[in-house]
Structure 1
Amino acid sequence: MSKKVLEISQSEYISYFLNSLIVKSNEKRIIVPISQIDTVLVSNPRCNISVPLLNELVAQNVNIIICDSKFKPTVQISPIQGYYSNKNFLNQINWSKDFKGFVWREIIKTKIVNYTKLIYYLDITSEEEIDKLIKYYESVLINDRSNCEGHAAKLSFKILYGANFSRDDENIINTFLDYGYTVLMTYVSRSIIKNGLDNRIGIFHKSFNNHFALSCDLMEPLRALIDKLVYTHIYIYGKKDFILFKKDLFCMFEEKIAIKNTKLSVNEYIDKIVKSVINNNLICEDFIIEWS
């Protein structure tokens, strides 16, 4: 049974009782077993959360996302220790430059091919531009030294959203993309912590101020999933309803996608990527999404 995504948009207090999350709102009392919850999204900036509830949600690996007064996700609550052993972390701090260079190449190849296949599936461009994307994919080097990722991303955005589109603009497309990418990062972060890695130690992303460096790395092959959802809402459905987009976004993580003749939920796909890095067997061909 698929677990629930619970959004707290009106209640001003949620608490814990008998393995359940208790929502109090307008003298009503709603009880949700924590075992049935995948994610808690707190979008009411006035909501108070009890400490026992936070501890139990973290203990049961529930993704906890808190939004600011503009309803943008700004906080993810994660356990300090999410794994029974330090083995994976000890291996992580000893990742070599060669290992990181190889993994980053495979991540970028996967990202580019997933976007290429998405654009081909949507049938929104010429064979010439598809060939350009394929060339970028074939040209990715160790550490992506020639920045094929940047060139492919620029072309992909142009094809999807138009020649004048810029990620710096304030518009509905970027609002949807920013929200979607941020939520995606929290799901990747949860898997990273669950598998005993440290989010602050990245493969490519490096910054003293980025506490989610590894999430930023490992989410790259999945970004096309967010773009597919955004493109579908705006250009196929012709809708700019943020509430509907948000609902479909969270449902997406339990939906099945086709990978190498098998079907995995997006959550399972995320776990598979994280474990492949741990096991040093991340190969692009194992993570290509067959769109449908």
Structure 2
Amino acid sequence: MSKKVLEVSETEFISLHLDTLIVRKHGARITLPLKTLDTILITNPYCNISVPLLNKIVENNINLIVCNTKFQPTMQILPISSYYSNKNYLWQIRWTDEQKNKIWKQLVKLKIINYARLINHLNITTDDNIEKLTNYYTNVVDGDLNNCEGHAAKLSFKLLYGEDFSRSQKDDIINKYLNYGYIVLMTYVSRTLIKNGLDNRIGIFHKSFNNHFALSCDIMEPFRPIIDYLTFSYLIKNQNDDFKSYKKDLFISFENFIFPNGKNLNQVIDMLVKAIINNKINERDFNIDWS
């Protein structure tokens, strides 16, 4: 049975009783067993949450996301210690440049092939553009020194959202949808990394003193096309600027996107992290089924 996503948008206090989340709303008392929850999304900026509940949320590996007054995710609660020993962390801090470059090459190739399959599925391109994406995929080298990832993303954005679209336009409605989706996706990856004993701050390609989610930014790359597809479906295909419904469908898509191995996105993120740790990435396991 799929676990639930709980959005806290109206109530001003959520607490814990035994292993049950308590929501008080308009004098009523609503209870939800923590074991049934995958994610708690707090969109009410005035909501209070009890410390015992926070501890139980972490203990149950529930993804807790807090949004600001503009409904943009600004905070994620993560445990200090993971469910693993320090083995994976010690492996991570010993990464050589050669290892990181090989991993990044595989992640970039996964991202490009998922873009190519999406563009082909939507039938919004020509054979020439498919050939370009194929060439970008073929020409990826260790460390992606020729920036095939950037070229493929730029072409895919142009095909999905038009010639004039730019990721640098902060007030653009498309970027609003993309940014929200990417941040939520990043929280799911972050949770999985912590669960597997890895340090989010130690990235493969993304490196910045100000980025505390560098590794999440790396690992999420092959799955970004899912956010791009959902944004395209709302704003381009259906001309439907309904951000509230988009947020709901975003979480549903994480359950419904099925990969060739029959697993959903949550499961596949965990598979990819473990595959990187074990140096056994099978590309076919991470190809998105757009049908």
On whether the aligned pair clears a TM of 0.5, the verdict is: yes
* Matching of residue 287 in structure 1 with residue 289 in structure 2: no
CA contact (8 A) 1:15 1:49 kept: yes
Structure 2 gaps of 5+ residues are none
1:209-288 mapped onto 2 (5 Å cutoff): 209-259=210-260, 262-288=261-287
Cα distance in 2 between the residues matched to 1:191 and 1:228: 23
**Residue in 1 aligned with 2:90?**
90
* Matching of residue 176 in structure 1 with residue 177 in structure 2: yes
Cα distance in 2 between the residues matched to 1:239 and 1:38: 27
* Matching of residue 50 in structure 1 with residue 63 in structure 2: no
If the length of structure 1 is used for normalisation, what is the TM-score?
0.97
Cα distance in 2 between the residues matched to 1:129 and 1:279: 35
CA contact (8 A) 1:106 1:283 kept: no
If the length of structure 2 is used for normalisation, what is the TM-score?
0.97
3-state DSSP of counterpart to 1:257: coil
**Residue in 1 aligned with 2:197?**
196
Cα distance in 1 between the residues matched to 2:122 and 2:24: 44
CA contact (8 A) 1:63 1:76 kept: yes
Counting aligned pairs with the same residue, the percent is 56
Cα distance in 2 between the residues matched to 1:147 and 1:235: 28
Cα distance in 1 between the residues matched to 2:284 and 2:132: 19
* Matching of residue 99 in structure 1 with residue 99 in structure 2: yes
Amino acid at match of 1:4: K
Cα distance in 2 between the residues matched to 1:2 and 1:201: 32
Q: Report how many residues are paired.
A: 290
RMSD between aligned residues:
1.0
What's the CA shift string for 1:170-213, capped at 9, x where partnerless?
A: 22211110000000000000000011111111111111111100
Cα distance in 1 between the residues matched to 2:84 and 2:197: 8
Cα distance in 1 between the residues matched to 2:108 and 2:61: 29
3-state DSSP of counterpart to 1:253: helix
Larger CA deviation: 165-174 vs 219-228: 165-174
Give how far 1:283 is off: 4.1
1:63-74 mapped onto 2 (5 Å cutoff): 63-74=63-74
Cα distance in 2 between the residues matched to 1:144 and 1:287: 19
CA contact (8 A) 1:203 1:217 kept: yes
**Residue in 1 aligned with 2:123?**
123
CA contact (8 A) 1:110 1:287 kept: yes
CA contact (8 A) 2:257 2:288 kept: no
Larger CA deviation: 163-172 vs 280-289: 280-289
Give how far 1:114 is off: 0.3
Amino acid at match of 1:198: D
What's the CA shift string for 1:238-264, capped at 9, x where partnerless?
A: 2110011000001111114132xx211
3-state DSSP of counterpart to 2:46: coil
What's the CA shift string for 1:134-188, capped at 9, x where partnerless?
A: 1111110100000111111111100000000011222221111000000000000
Structure 1 gaps of 5+ residues are none
Give how far 1:44 is off: 0.5
3-state DSSP of counterpart to 2:258: strand
Give how far 1:273 is off: 0.8
**Residue in 2 aligned with 1:152?**
152
Amino acid at match of 1:106: Q
3-state DSSP of counterpart to 2:259: strand
Amino acid at match of 2:61: N
